[in-house]
């Protein structure tokens, strides 16, 4: 039992002391059995206070530490480090939260907040008395990282890791890399084409010996834990192997072109969001790898293509590969919001399209080479054969669904205002006679992106702003499409515009394919994007040790923000696995094998698959996988014989806290 405990009560500036009488708290605990000193600090987390704590621990030979301040989520590790630097076992430190659970929660009742703070600190002291020194277990780790998703986020993370010497498996579900960025034309501010940026990344990746790239690849299972994840990959065949038909008449490209021509299958091209059609064998708009693909899902297996081009294998089978990885980065990206039928006329009025379709339309019209494209001559923007002059851009479709807008997406998608304005500028530059009318809910071109709004306004774009409870109304009568709105900027005046094309500026939503979340057991937030541990302190970490987030799998981001997050995730993963050893948190379940009679309840309740069974003295008992256990405590209450204790949170420690709170 610890008998010399130091107690520090933080004022947190005035966050705590404005509502909690900190002097009364100190006076109430200073004479509690085991307390050697009790102090009030202005900021417990300040460097000067930390140094003071270290001196106190050393000078007064303290063997326990209590800090009453903010949430342990913010400063648990700060004060553990203080204890460690002073030579005390860091698990003999306990934090009492008297800010979020005290002053902030009860700011209207300071007397009650003070009484609650006193009990919270006494409970922390009681637990500290019974706390035991713990040693963190150390496990070996593979210096290998699996990066799931080869969009710009995954590619950037893979390159960053590979350059440090870490081995990387980069896997992509699609047969082409680049994700959404490969679909965009010019991107702000460099005016490079999205596919050019991706092409540069791809060139670096294929030259780097530390990166193994698999396209057409799904992650199908994950076992093991941080440092030693066992991953099974399913690799779908590309169906075309250049060089396998060497010696035949004509070169490969000639034979392949003829094979594509003879393919009888036409399907919508999802890369162009249905604006064009493609064959079951297809090339894809300059994407990488440059080798075409046989679309097995839509191929009828007629075999006519194989007669012309033997390099095509319509019977190729998928293969599996098992790999070991010390860490995983999830960079699976986003889906664009898909408007429902009738939402701002979408699906009912033929000249209402999404922002993503508009960006592809710009590319198709300018190239004029895609099969089925609607472009006939550069300089005039055409859609479905009609000349486009007036374009109505309706913002916040699928984002900020509040007021009169129905839907679950309450968040702002951040990138869409700037991207839509940039696209409108490009449209004006590329095509003759374009008039842009923007229907916004308030433009959010933050930071350096504001220059786009200024450029657009100077060029003559018109901005109208709707009320939250009165979104724009799109209608069509006698072939004329109109957009009507009550405009905030002209004091509620009703404005109506005839539009040749209506572009719904749709935001980002999480991937509809949730298989990675289920396999990796990474939780999602209320917005259904993957959830980080803490937005400020651990912005790319997940609650699953060793699994990190990058890019828009975590929420809406522009390209710059995506690359920053990828850099961060790569650094975190490298720091974790590069030494070959990982120190684990010692807080975990512990089985008393003599009491255990194996009922399986703990196995069923464990969300991390950390419970297994073993034979012990002629009976079956539970055993905990220490590298997998997260110390969540879910197994404790379901054990009928109380054979499970949580290290660092034993029954005696918890009961002592309850006793202190109930006094």
pLDDT band at 375 (very low <50, low <70, confident <90, very high): very low
pLDDT band at 249 (very low <50, low <70, confident <90, very high): low
pLDDT digits (tens, 9 = 90+) for 17-69: 999 999 999 999 999 999 999 999 999 999 999 999 999 999 999 999 999 99
Model pTM? 0.83
3-state secondary structure 473-504: EEEEECCEEEEEEEEHHHCCEEEEEEECEEEE
pLDDT at 246 over 60: no
The strands making up 228-235's β-sheet, listed across from edge to edge, are: 217-225, 228-235, 319-325
Stretch 125-131: mean pLDDT:
95
pLDDT at 192 over 60: yes
Stretch 614-621: mean pLDDT:
94
Say what percent of the chain tops pLDDT 90.
78
Question: CB neighbours (10 Å) of residue 444?
Answer: 19
pLDDT band at 141 (very low <50, low <70, confident <90, very high): very high
| Per-residue model confidence (pLDDT) at position 594 | 94
| Per-residue model confidence (pLDDT) at position 29 | 96
Distance (Å, rounded) from C-alpha 165 to C-alpha 578?
8
Q: What is the chain's Cα-based Rg?
A: 31
Q: Are 247 and 201 in contact (CB under 8 A)?
A: no
The C-alpha torsion from 155 through 161 and 163 to 169, rounded to 10°, is: -70
Distance (Å, rounded) from C-alpha 627 to C-alpha 596?
21
> E strands, 109-216, where?
138-140, 144-148, 167-172, 186-187, 192-193, 211-215
| Per-residue model confidence (pLDDT) at position 534 | 85
399-415 exposure pattern, b = at least 16 Cβ within 10 A, e = fewer: bbbeeebeeebebebbb
Distance (Å, rounded) from C-alpha 455 to C-alpha 176?
35
Distance (Å, rounded) from C-alpha 177 to C-alpha 287?
7
pLDDT at 1 over 80: no
* Among the ranges given (234-248, 281-295, 324-338, 488-502), the one the predictor scored with the smallest mean pLDDT: 234-248
Which DSSP category does 378 fall into? T
| Per-residue model confidence (pLDDT) at position 291 | 86
CA 417 centroid distance within chain: 21
pLDDT band at 372 (very low <50, low <70, confident <90, very high): very low
pLDDT at 468 over 60: yes
| Per-residue model confidence (pLDDT) at position 129 | 95
| Per-residue model confidence (pLDDT) at position 247 | 52
pLDDT at 377 over 50: no
| Per-residue model confidence (pLDDT) at position 73 | 83
The C-alpha torsion from 188 through 189 and 190 to 195, rounded to 10°, is: -20
| Per-residue model confidence (pLDDT) at position 596 | 96
Which DSSP category does 532 fall into? P
Tell me the CA distances in angstroms from 34 to 53, 79, 130, 565, one per residue in order.
17, 20, 11, 46
| Per-residue model confidence (pLDDT) at position 456 | 96
Structure tokens at 207: 């030259």
pLDDT at 373 over 60: no
pLDDT digits (tens, 9 = 90+) for 422-461: 999 999 988 989 999 999 999 999 898 999 999 999 999 9
pLDDT at 168 over 50: yes
| Per-residue model confidence (pLDDT) at position 599 | 95
Q: Measured between alpha carbons, how far apart are the two ends of the chain, in Å?
A: 21
Q: ω before 289 within 30° of 0 (cis)?
A: yes
pLDDT digits (tens, 9 = 90+) for 512-542: 999 999 999 899 998 999 999 888 888 999 9
Mean of the per-residue pLDDT values of the chain? 92
Tell me the CA distances in angstroms from 437 to 56, 497, 601, one per residue in order.
67, 8, 62
pLDDT at 333 over 90: yes
pLDDT at 323 over 90: yes
pLDDT band at 379 (very low <50, low <70, confident <90, very high): confident
Distance (Å, rounded) from C-alpha 413 to C-alpha 180?
15
634: exposed, middle or buried (Cβ count in 10 Å: 0-12, 13-18, 19+): middle
| Per-residue model confidence (pLDDT) at position 332 | 97
* Cβ within 8 Å of residue 390, ≥6 positions away: 435, 437, 497, 498, 499, 500, 501
Question: CB neighbours (10 Å) of residue 512?
Answer: 8
Say what percent of the chain tops pLDDT 70.
97
Distance (Å, rounded) from C-alpha 499 to C-alpha 478?
13
pLDDT at 124 over 80: yes
Query: 312-315: long-range contacts (C-beta < 8 A, 24 or more apart)?
Result: 312/239, 312/240, 312/256, 312/259, 312/281, 313/237, 313/239, 313/240, 313/241, 313/244, 314/239
| Per-residue model confidence (pLDDT) at position 371 | 39
Which DSSP category does 465 fall into? E
- Going 246 to 251 to 253 to 259, the CA torsion angle's sign is negative
Using DSSP bridges, classify how beta strands 192-193 and 211-215 pair: parallel, antiparallel or unpaired: unpaired
pLDDT at 242 over 90: no
């Amino acid at each position: 039992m610890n008998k010399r405990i130091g107690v520090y009560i933080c004022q947190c500036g005035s966050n705590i002391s404005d509502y909690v009488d900190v002097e009364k708290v100190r006076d109430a605990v200073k004479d509690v059995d085991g307390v050697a000193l009790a102090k009030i600090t202005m900021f417990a987390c300040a460097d000067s206070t930390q140094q003071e704590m270290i001196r106190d621990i050393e000078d007064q030979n303290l063997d326990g530490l209590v800090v009453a301040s903010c949430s342990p989520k913010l400063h648990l590790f700060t004060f553990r480090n203080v204890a460690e630097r002073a030579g005390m076992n860091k698990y003999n430190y306990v934090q009492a939260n008297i800010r979020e659970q005290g002053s902030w929660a009860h700011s209207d009742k300071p007397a009650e907040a003070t009484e609650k703070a006193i009990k919270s600190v006494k409970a922390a002291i009681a637990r500290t008395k019974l706390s035991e020194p713990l040693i963190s277990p150390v496990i070996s780790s593979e210096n290998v990282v699996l990066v799931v998703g080869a969009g710009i986020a995954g590619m950037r993370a893979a390159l960053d890791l590979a350059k440090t010497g870490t081995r990387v498996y980069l896997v992509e579900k699609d047969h082409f890399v680049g994700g959404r960025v490969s679909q965009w034309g010019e991107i702000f501010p460099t005016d490079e084409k999205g596919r050019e940026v991706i092409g540069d990344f791809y060139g670096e990746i294929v030259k780097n010996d530390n990166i193994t790239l698999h396209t057409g690849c799904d992650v199908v299972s994950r076992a093991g834990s941080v440092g030693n994840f066992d991953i099974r990959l399913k690799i779908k065949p590309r169906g075309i192997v250049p060089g396998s038909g060497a010696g035949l008449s004509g070169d490969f490209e000639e034979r392949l072109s003829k094979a594509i021509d003879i393919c009888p299958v036409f399907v919508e091209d999802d890369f162009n969001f249905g604006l064009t059609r493609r064959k079951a064998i297809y090339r894809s708009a300059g994407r990488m790898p440059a080798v075409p693909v046989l679309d097995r899902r839509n191929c009828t297996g007629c075999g006519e293509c194989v007669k012309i081009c033997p390099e095509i294998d319509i019977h190729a089978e998928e293969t599996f590969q098992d790999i070991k990885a010390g860490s995983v980065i999830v960079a699976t990206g986003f889906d664009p919001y898909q408007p429902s039928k009738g939402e701002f006329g979408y699906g009912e009025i033929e000249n209402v399209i999404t922002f993503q379709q508009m960006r592809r339309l710009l590319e198709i019209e300018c190239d004029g080479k895609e099969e089925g494209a609607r472009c006939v001559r550069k300089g005039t923007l055409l859609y479905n054969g009609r000349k486009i002059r007036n374009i109505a851009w309706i913002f916040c479709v699928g984002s900020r669904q509040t007021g009169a807008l129905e839907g679950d997406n309450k968040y702002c998608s951040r990138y869409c205002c700037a991207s839509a304005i940039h696209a409108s500028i490009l449209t004006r530059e590329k095509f003759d006679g374009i008039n842009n009318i923007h229907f916004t809910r308030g433009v959010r071109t933050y930071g350096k992106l504001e220059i786009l709004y200024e450029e657009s306004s100077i060029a003559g774009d018109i901005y109208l702003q709707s009320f939250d409870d009165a979104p724009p109304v799109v209608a069509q009568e006698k072939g004329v499409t109109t957009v009507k709105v009550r405009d905030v900027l002209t004091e509620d005046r009703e404005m109506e515009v005839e539009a040749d094309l209506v572009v719904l500026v749709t935001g980002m939503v999480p991937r509809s394919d949730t298989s990675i979340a289920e396999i990796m057991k990474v939780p999602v937030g209320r917005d259904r994007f993957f959830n980080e541990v803490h937005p400020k302190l651990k912005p790319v970490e997940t609650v699953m040790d060793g699994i990190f987030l990058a890019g828009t799998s975590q929420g809406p981001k522009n390209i710059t923000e995506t690359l920053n997050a990828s850099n961060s995730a790569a650094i975190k993963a490298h720091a974790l696995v590069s030494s070959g050893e990982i120190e684990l948190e010692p807080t975990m379940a512990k089985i008393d094998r003599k009491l255990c009679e194996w009922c399986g309840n703990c196995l069923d309740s464990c969300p991390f698959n950390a419970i297994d069974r073993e034979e012990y003295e002629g009976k079956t008992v539970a055993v905990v996988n220490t590298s997998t256990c997260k110390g969540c405590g879910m197994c404790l209450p379901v054990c009928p014989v109380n054979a499970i204790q949580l290290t660092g949170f034993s029954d005696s420690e918890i009961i002592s806290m309850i006793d202190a709170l109930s006094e």
